[in-house]
Structure 1
Amino acid sequence: MRSTRREMMLGAATLALLGRGGGAGAAMAAATALPRTARPLPLSDVRLHASDYATAVDVNRTYLLRLNADRLLHNFRLYAGLKPKGEIYGGWESDTIAGHTLGHYMTALVRMHEQTGDAAVRTRADYIVDELAAAQAARGNGYIGAMQRKRKDGKVVDAIEIFPEIMQGDIRSGGFDLNGAWSPFYTVHKLFAGLLDIHESWGNPKALAVAVAFAGYFEPVFSALNDAQMQEMLGTEYGGLNESYAELSARTGDKRYLAVAGRLYDRKVLDPLENREDKLANFHANTQVPKLIGLARIHELTGDPGKATAASFFWQAVTQHHSYVIGGNADREYFSAPATIAMHITEQTCEHCNTYNMLKLTRQLYSWSPDGALFDYYERAHLNHVMAAQDPKTAGFTYMTPLLTGAVRGYSTPADDAFWCCVGTGMESHAKHGESIFWEGDAGKGKALLVNLYIPAEATWRARGASLVLATKYPFEGTSTLTLAKLGTPGHFPIALRVPNWAAGKALVTVNGAPVRPAFARGYAIVERRWKAGDSLAITLPLDLRIEPTPGDDKTIAILRGPMVMAADLGSTEGNWSSPDPALVGDDLLARFTPAAQPATYTTSGIARPADLTFVPFYRQYERRSAVYFKRFSEGAWKTEEAAFIADQARRRDIAARSVDVVHLGEMQPEHDHGLISELSFPVSYRNRNGRDARSGGFFEFTVNAKPGPLVLQATYWGDERATDFDIMVDNVKVATQHLGGDQPGKFMDVDYPLPIGLTQGKTQLRVRFVPHAKRTAGPVFGVILFSAKPAT
């Protein structure tokens, strides 16, 4: 992995400190005190103490036990010819992606058992395995599944019927569906992951047997495809199925599974990454991250350096050029061009699944070569995004974590009627907050301990027969104290405490209350000495406010305190947000922040426009509106730009206020939510915009919500499009014929289509269809808005 800016900064700080106490020789000694590889202490050996993290685990445990396994198993039994034992859940579980939640649920139960020792969750996981084994035996072919397939006639059936079609080379996808099923291999991966996690955690042999038989069903499906057909199929989301097959090979020793894992390789996405090329713009983000986790696992089993390069480069590209301040990534589920975050601060930022998977990849890369820079990112995303994605009052989970000023977080409800992908990753994430605090590795002649997260907890360190207690109120207070409450084998070994980049050169370390001068290397303060039971090691990190400019736009900034993203509290989520976005004006902004009585709370004086603000931790804004990003102005620049800034905000609010419905074409979830159907139609991307076209003989059609009064349908096109003609139909009535052909070169253009009042009167929904003329293309269309016409003046 190439050097990062963080490493260079820490390197300079290290040399400065070591220059007072030993020079280059001490630096080299410090580096050798760190292990070359690392592994986390088992989650089952870590118990959380009181904190927001412990609360999240407790809330999630109640949620997991509230869910009914038989309801999640409904379709598995139904399609196996067995009588269901529970009514099917709603939301995604009643759609063609049914069954994905059960895979997440199995893994969540495993992690919850490891984190808490609760026997009830283990019993439930074993029950699910028994039920899946029974459904598999009833089918008699190794397959298990709840997925559904929607036929052309609208009938919904067992999705198993798509796989013989695929074996015949009949592969049909609009980008997110596959022969009428919704991302089927994504769901298959989740089931594999759950089964393998149950087998790994407590050795349930039936879980492995079900997984092996399941893998056996798909082997002939994949082997029937030539390389071109395989690539065509892999154009549809397949999750981390390559990881599952690689792991199955590791468990069984059967190299056939590793060969399958190698074929599950999407060249369009992964080849550039192996060549260290960032071509991620306009790719669906969470479709890609699991592929790299799989490549990393294949590298571990084969030593293939290209796979390691792709995984490491992807991590660097995403964290340095495609991530928001809270550590999440993607706008409306898609990567934008590198360093364009400031152009994509919307209500659809930061899908939780992406960060869940990025944290998995981070742990993998860290285990290969411990480096504090990896956990600087991990801490940021874990604290500011993952912790924001669960409402501790309701146990609900977010899909997106919006960073648009004034936006409301939308949590799943206690009615359990959502089951989005992010509900699945949410139930996993909040079952395992202790998994990455403590790590160990071989250093010198013994074991080294590394502390990567400052979360109050106790742990058993078996390699030393030690009981560890980490006491801290971080990130609200700066000091964290590690006590060796028990040490079965006292001795000389290193303990490494992570020093975040923002604290480089400023960390204070004590042993048994007395200051010491640690060695510094790779983002760690390292104390190597003869340790005995009762010894304590403490680190104090400065928690000063700082400004972080947005990559690519230093006039768009965020405020942080230590690892914690701060947000301006804009009030209750009730009602509509209609105020202007706040801006920060002045040459020394931080000097005008004053600490308030509440922990990690500040008020501004004279720098905020239109009024002073109170800043609080972003992740705790569960039921509040926030501002995270701010435009920064000097006093002179503000006077010049204030009018244009306010006018732009007013224009945006006017559009939002009159919008009845918005359709983001070419994007999986919005298209699904609007009931899109199509023939000979494909998602497209161009100049950082996603859209959809239809080829000659095809069409695409979707539903928009309507309301009383005059309505206008607006479509967005590229203004320099090649010549084409198509019709726009609303409820089977042609409302316009659109010609494109260089109308507005060099920019996107919006075209308005006022709808006849007789066509919309009394309707709450409209069906919109784009139909190309013969030998022409409809679109591409880069989004559609239905809005109320302005009153006549």
Structure 2
Amino acid sequence: MKANRRDWMAGVAALALCSLPFKGFAAVIAPMFPIKARPLPLTDVRLKPSDYATAVQVNLDYLLSLSPDRLLHNFRLYAGLQPKAPIYGGWESDTISGHILGHYMTSLVLAWQQTGSQECRARADYIVAELAECQAQRSDGYVGGLGRKNKEGKIVNGREIFDEIMQGQIKSGGFDLNGSWAPLYTVHKWFAGLLDIHKAWGNPTALKVVVGLGGYFEKVFSSLSDAQMQEMLACEYGGLNESFAELYGRTGEPRWIAVAERLYDRKVLDPLVAQDDKLANFHANTQIPKVIGLARIHELTGKEAPGRAARFFFDRVTNHHSYVIGGNADREYFFEPDQIARHLTESTCEHCNTYNMLKLTRTLFSWQPDATLFDYYERAHLNHVMSAQNPATGGFTYMTPMMSGTARGYSEPGGEEFWCCVGSGMESHAKHGESIFWEGDDTLFVNLYIPSSARWEEKGVNLSLDTQYPFKSDIRIAIDQARQSAFAMALRIPAWARGREQVTVNGSAVPVTTANGYAMIERRWKKGDVVALNLPLDLRLEPAQGSTDVVAVVRGPLVMAADLGPAEKDWVGVEPAMVGENLLASFVPQVSDRPRFLAKGVIRPGDMTFVPFYSQYDRRSAVYFKRFSEAGWKKEEAAFLAEQARQKDLAERSIDIMHLGEMQPERDHDLTSEISYPVSYRGRNGRDARSGGFFDFSMKVQPGPLTLQATYWGDERPRAFDILLDGQKIATQRLAHEAPGTFFDVDYAIPESLTKGKSKVRIRVVPHDRTTAGPVFGMRILKARK
């Protein structure tokens, strides 16, 4: 039976909403949904001039600068066809080749929907035709561009790994599968791109290619026992479960939902179903797409457990694992809940994570509208996603650092840098209009206040949204056309507004009903009606999870950050701190076209200017600050500055840093290994090697006296191993309870004769017989102290 808006309002009226930014969603959403919502089609929303519109145009230019034929190189090569253009470099020349083509297909669809670019649609159809030609060269439905490294280290057609898997030969070091870098993750991108093209304008060939590809992998998976399936799924598989579920939704064939439900990583997903947060030390972006897949399975089957897991996961990540900008994870990994204050590093907030969290947010909102969901969405979209593209160059970040003074690193659009966040970045900045307006029964939800115009086809309504929010408080929504004029407009009132919002229609106060975070205006609308919303944009301090003495400055939804100077100049200052009782009283507004404040007398070591964090593309920032009273500062200042000096000294002396057990650093340092595994312990990642194995990797060196520094856990059982540099042993390390309860560093002097005339060396760690090497929780090459 169809439920309506009145049922929804009655159902939510008794629900208590928490005043914290994203708190309470898991408690208020029930398994049965009295109302559902869907976004207005992106084709019916157009952006007006703003930073969002600029991002879309810059991204469109970037998309059109790419060559489809270069992205298709391996697909044609491995199908036995002549490539039409040389392959791109970077990740596209590695075994993960092809993942960008999947992102690119989806991005072309979104850019066409957002801007009407016919070139984007033509390119998407061209890619589909090329993939169909490649698939026709085979009889089994496979098509692909991924590679694998053979025993000689040469990259060859990765298709052969699936023959091995079907024979039960499954080998993974944690980030690779049979010599190929996360191949099922890459396969998911092809599924997603093709399905998006089919959905957007009904390209039948796109669905045909997906069905063929789905049949091939159905055969691969059906050859595996449940135990073998779990062994394979220990390697990242993206949201492949979502793709098979979606294929079921398009075709109605039960075979596809059976595959989707079998793509279930028990180690990660069982605790979520049981409402148990075991996320610490899991690679974050590996898990989020799995949960999106569970949500889709729930929608299609009505099974309660997958939906319960999705809601629980959202609550835990947003309320217990997220930074103030809405991003999550440190060095790509979740850590213990409510410990943000301990993880303010240079490697926080991978963009892909937030890209996927926003997809999950949209799904949950479609089940039952709740403003809390879009409080999170707005925070992450504005502060993280918008900071992840440099509008001057079109480049994308991988990480967005929360460590004071760290510059953001953006891809060079012409430099062939195709890491994962370039792929999710080109999607994110193609679609800034997709979540502004939603419809549910006879209600129009306004969830984001982004300058735009839209058509609500069902009601025959055209409307315009004009604002300089979040810089200024006033928001104006005008009815430009109204054919079927009786409906309710639901304006999201952020939790931080705390009931101080003002709403008028045509300049006069009107009756407003509040329901689940929305101001509901129900009336018979006519052309020329204007709704005005004013939201208070006061400064406030938000503590970091894990410490009330570490805070960030927020204005409305906008994270403010201290400006520490241009990115191209090294930052040599100490980490700033806040000292005083009434800190925000010392923030003095400055004349500017956007929020700008001078903090006078409360920042140590000196006064600083605060500006919107996302806009500091080419600047260095400070987002989080330790907070002290005057008495507390005097007590802590010496120790605080000494620790900052130690960290600064370490950073200045560091020539190269190897974060062992982490996917991208291991790729960057060309790690090879045998009988070696990534490990996680007490929030830190590392790598060990078992008897008969080893791991080795490249590190940069320079002339002069150098030191190799390694980090270990101080309470290991007895073990012994050798450390070699370019084949020469420089140390034997024995571990046996040296420093119980803590991590500790060991320095090894590097003979200058081993580095003379070299820019790189190979470090190898080899266990003694019948013992283990490490785990080693990172290594550095340091300039020796003078």
TM range (shorter): over 0.9
Aligned to 2:565: 571
Aligned to 1:484: 479
Q: How many angstroms apart in 2 are the aligned matches of 1:631 and 1:6?
A: 33
> Could you tell me which of 742, 746, 758 is aligned with 1:763?
758
Q: How many angstroms apart in 1 are the aligned matches of 2:722 and 2:526?
A: 80
Shift of 1:654: 0.1
Aligned to 2:268: 269
Q: 2:705, 2:750 within 8 Å by CA — same for their partners in 1?
A: yes
Aligned to 1:15: none
Aligned to 1:287: 286
Q: 1:10, 1:523 within 8 Å by CA — same for their partners in 2?
A: no
Aligned CA distance change for structure 1 residues 200 and 576 (closer, same or farther; 3 Å): same
> Could you tell me which of 464, 468, 492 is aligned with 1:469?
464
3-state SS of paired residue (1:415): helix
Q: 1:460, 1:468 within 8 Å by CA — same for their partners in 2?
A: yes
Shift of 1:66: 0.7
Q: How many angstroms apart in 1 are the aligned matches of 2:43 and 2:550?
A: 43
Aligned to 1:596: 590
Shift of 1:646: 0.9
Structure-2-length-normalised TM-score = 0.96
Amino acid at match of 2:722: D
3-state SS of paired residue (2:171): coil
Q: How many angstroms apart in 1 are the aligned matches of 2:634 and 2:609?
A: 24
3-state SS of paired residue (1:779): strand
3-state SS of paired residue (1:661): strand
Q: How many angstroms apart in 1 are the aligned matches of 2:283 and 2:485?
A: 51
Shift of 1:155: 2.1
Aligned to 1:744: 739
Shift of 1:543: 0.4
Structure 1 stretch 377-386 or stretch 639-648: which is displaced more? 639-648
What is the percent sequence identity of the aligned residues?
64
3-state SS of paired residue (1:685): strand
Aligned to 1:449: 444
Aligned to 2:213: 214
Amino acid at match of 2:485: P
Q: 1:6, 1:373 within 8 Å by CA — same for their partners in 2?
A: no
Aligned to 2:398: 399
Aligned to 1:25: none
Q: How many angstroms apart in 2 are the aligned matches of 1:410 and 1:604?
A: 27
Aligned CA distance change for structure 1 residues 38 and 586 (closer, same or farther; 3 Å): same
> Could you tell me which of 666, 671, 678 is aligned with 1:671?
666
Shift of 1:154: 1.1
> Could you tell me which of 536, 541, 566 is aligned with 2:535?
541
Superposed, 1:101-120 pairs within 5 Å as 101-120=100-119
Structure 1 stretch 377-386 or stretch 599-608: which is displaced more? 599-608
Q: How many angstroms apart in 2 are the aligned matches of 1:377 and 1:176?
A: 30
Aligned to 1:350: 349
Aligned to 1:421: 420
Q: How many angstroms apart in 1 are the aligned matches of 2:46 and 2:292?
A: 27
3-state SS of paired residue (1:655): helix
Aligned to 1:260: 259
Aligned to 2:5: none
> Could you tell me which of 693, 705, 725 is aligned with 1:698?
693
Amino acid at match of 2:708: L
Q: How many angstroms apart in 1 are the aligned matches of 2:602 and 2:15?
A: 31
Aligned CA distance change for structure 1 residues 101 and 357 (closer, same or farther; 3 Å): same
Show CA shifts across 1:292-311 (max 9, x none): 00000000011111101111
Q: 1:729, 1:768 within 8 Å by CA — same for their partners in 2?
A: yes
Shift of 1:167: 0.7
Show CA shifts across 1:186-238 (max 9, x none): 00000000000000000000000000001111111100100110000000000
Show CA shifts across 1:720-752 (max 9, x none): 101111111111111111111111111111111
Aligned to 1:511: 505
Q: How many angstroms apart in 1 are the aligned matches of 2:291 and 2:84?
A: 38
Q: 1:490, 1:533 within 8 Å by CA — same for their partners in 2?
A: no
3-state SS of paired residue (1:727): strand
Q: How many angstroms apart in 1 are the aligned matches of 2:167 and 2:727?
A: 36
**Alignment gaps of 5+ in structure 1:** 12-30
Amino acid at match of 1:9: S
Is the counterpart of residue 99 in structure 1 residue 98 in structure 2? yes
Structure 1: which 4+ aligned runs deviate by more than 4 Å?
Answer: 1-6
Q: 1:89, 1:416 within 8 Å by CA — same for their partners in 2?
A: no
Q: How many angstroms apart in 1 are the aligned matches of 2:493 and 2:621?
A: 29
Is the counterpart of residue 83 in structure 1 residue 82 in structure 2? yes
Aligned to 2:647: 652
Q: 1:547, 1:559 within 8 Å by CA — same for their partners in 2?
A: yes
Superposed, 1:257-406 pairs within 5 Å as 257-406=256-405
Show CA shifts across 1:227-260 (max 9, x none): 1100000000000000000000111111111000
Q: How many angstroms apart in 1 are the aligned matches of 2:51 and 2:69?
A: 31
Show CA shifts across 1:582-623 (max 9, x none): 111110001001110012001111111111011000000000
3-state SS of paired residue (1:713): strand
Shift of 1:3: 13
Aligned-pair RMSD on alpha carbons?
A: 1.6
Aligned to 1:197: 196
Q: How many angstroms apart in 2 are the aligned matches of 1:322 and 1:6?
A: 23
In the alignment of these two chains, the number of paired residues is 765
Amino acid at match of 1:317: R
Q: How many angstroms apart in 2 are the aligned matches of 1:118 and 1:766?
A: 49
Structure 1 stretch 407-416 or stretch 315-324: which is displaced more? 407-416
> Could you tell me which of 469, 491, 494 is aligned with 1:497?
491
Shift of 1:758: 1.1
3-state SS of paired residue (2:703): coil
Show CA shifts across 1:292-348 (max 9, x none): 000000000111111011111000000001100000001110111101111111111
Shift of 1:69: 0.5
Amino acid at match of 1:586: G
Amino acid at match of 2:695: F
Structure 1 stretch 156-165 or stretch 733-742: which is displaced more? 733-742
Amino acid at match of 2:277: D
Show CA shifts across 1:370-402 (max 9, x none): 000000000000000000000111100001111
Structure 1 stretch 532-541 or stretch 622-631: which is displaced more? 532-541
3-state SS of paired residue (2:384): helix
Aligned CA distance change for structure 1 residues 176 and 4 (closer, same or farther; 3 Å): farther
Q: 1:714, 1:785 within 8 Å by CA — same for their partners in 2?
A: yes
Q: How many angstroms apart in 2 are the aligned matches of 1:4 and 1:56?
A: 41
Aligned to 1:237: 236
Shift of 1:760: 1.5
> Could you tell me which of 614, 619, 625 is aligned with 2:620?
625
3-state SS of paired residue (1:7): coil
3-state SS of paired residue (2:19): helix
Aligned CA distance change for structure 1 residues 199 and 673 (closer, same or farther; 3 Å): same
Q: How many angstroms apart in 1 are the aligned matches of 2:239 and 2:361?
A: 15
Amino acid at match of 1:100: H
3-state SS of paired residue (2:620): strand
Q: 1:35, 1:448 within 8 Å by CA — same for their partners in 2?
A: no
Structure-1-length-normalised TM-score = 0.95
Shift of 1:753: 1.0
Aligned to 1:557: 551
> Could you tell me which of 721, 730, 742 is aligned with 1:726?
721
Q: 2:12, 2:515 within 8 Å by CA — same for their partners in 1?
A: no
Shift of 1:414: 2.7
Shift of 1:468: 1.1
Q: 2:388, 2:425 within 8 Å by CA — same for their partners in 1?
A: yes
Q: How many angstroms apart in 2 are the aligned matches of 1:359 and 1:336?
A: 20
**Alignment gaps of 5+ in structure 2:** 1-10, 22-29
Q: How many angstroms apart in 2 are the aligned matches of 1:519 and 1:610?
A: 49
